[in-house]
């Protein structure tokens, strides 16, 4: 089935269940005959995955400063948009991207207290205006998401994650920032209750995506 290009991003606090829903949606859309590209931020290209490794797992003696962290996320994004997202959209694919620019506003803006207007400007620069048609915000209490992430982390040897390990206040600010973005852009950002069971949540995901496909 030939479909028009559609760019969908998945956002939310830690452990919200985005990756789980992306896999289900990829299989569903593929079965419908759509061309689907699944990707993530930070990452999505070999070079951007190198930046991901630093921002997620760096634990050296020299501090990784908030400005450095921000620029690494944006460098990864510029690489990713140009190398993967734009070509996929030009090829009429549906792009499912795990995190994008809203994560920068939430984590580096609200979490690290960096200037949000400046972050928006940097996001515009890194994406050269390539913005999502639809953003699904998986909202849940941060304690619930972190507990899920911890259960999963316990299964991985030598797990460390700089952002996941931030204080609980950091994660509360991140969640509130995501909800503010949704209130400011209700056309693009749809808030879903991520405490629902996987199957129930997926019904809502499909509904939102179907609505978006009818608009393009």
| 160 CA to centre of own chain | 19
Q: Interface with ligand T5A by CB under 6 A: which residues?
A: 12, 14-20, 40-42, 56, 73, 98-99, 103-104, 107-108, 148-149, 152, 163-164, 196-198, 201
CB nearer to ligand T5A: give 16 or 209: 16
Closest-by-Cβ residue to ligand T5A is 17
Which is closer to ligand T5A, CB of 53 or CB of 91? 53
| Shortest Å distance, C-beta 39 to ligand T5A | 11
Q: Which is nearer to ligand T5A, 45 or 103 (CB)?
A: 103
Minimum distance from CB of 65 to ligand T5A (Å)? Answer: 14
The smaller minimum CB distance to ligand T5A, of residues 86 and 164, is found at: 164
In the bound complex, what is the minimum distance in angstroms from residue 12's beta carbon to ligand T5A? 6
| C-beta of 18 vs 173, nearer to ligand T5A | 18
For the bound state, the minimum distance from the C-beta of residue 32 to ligand T5A, rounded and expressed in Å, comes to 22
* Structural tokens at position 138: 């998986």
- DSSP per position, the chain: -----EEEEEE-STTSSHHHHHHHHHHHHHHTT--EEEEESS-SSHHHHHHHHHHHH---SS---HHHHHHHHHHHHHHHIIIIIHHHHHTTPEEEEES-HHHIIIIIIIIT---HHHHHHHHHHHHTT---SEEEEEE--HHHHHHHHHHHHTTSTT---TTTTS-HHHHHHHHHHHHHHHHH-TTTEEEEETTS-HHHHHHHHHHHHHHHHHH-
Least distance (Å) from ligand T5A to the CB of residue 198? 4
Nearest to 95 by CA among 4, 6, 206: 6
Q: Cβ of residue 154: shortest distance to ligand T5A, in angstroms?
A: 10
If the CB atoms of residues 3 and 20 are measured against ligand T5A, the closer one turns out to be 20
């Amino acid at each position: 089935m030939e479909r028009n290009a559609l760019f969908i991003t998945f956002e939310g606090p830690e452990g919200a269940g985005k990756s789980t829903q992306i896999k289900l949606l990829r299989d569903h859309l593929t079965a419908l005959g759509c061309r689907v590209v699944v990707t993530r931020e930070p990452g999505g290209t070999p070079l951007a995955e190198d930046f991901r490794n630093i921002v997620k797992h760096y634990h050296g003696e020299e501090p990784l400063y908030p400005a450095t962290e921000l620029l690494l996320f944006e460098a990864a994004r510029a690489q990713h948009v140009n190398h993967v997202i734009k070509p996929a959209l030009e090829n009429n694919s549906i792009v499912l991207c795990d995190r994008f620019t809203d994560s920068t506003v939430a984590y580096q803006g609200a979490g690290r207290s960096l200037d949000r207007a400046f972050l928006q400007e940097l996001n515009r620069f890194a994406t050269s205006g390539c913005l999502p048609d639809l953003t699904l915000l998986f909202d849940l209490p941060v304690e619930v998401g972190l507990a899920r992430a911890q259960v999963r982390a316990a299964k991985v040897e030598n797990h460390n994650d700089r952002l996941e390990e931030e204080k609980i206040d950091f994660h509360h600010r991140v969640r509130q920032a995501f909800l503010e973005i949704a209130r400011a852009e209700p056309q693009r950002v749809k808030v879903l209750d991520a405490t629902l069971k996987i199957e129930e949540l997926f019904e809502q995901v499909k509904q939102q995506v179907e609505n978006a496909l009818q608009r393009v």
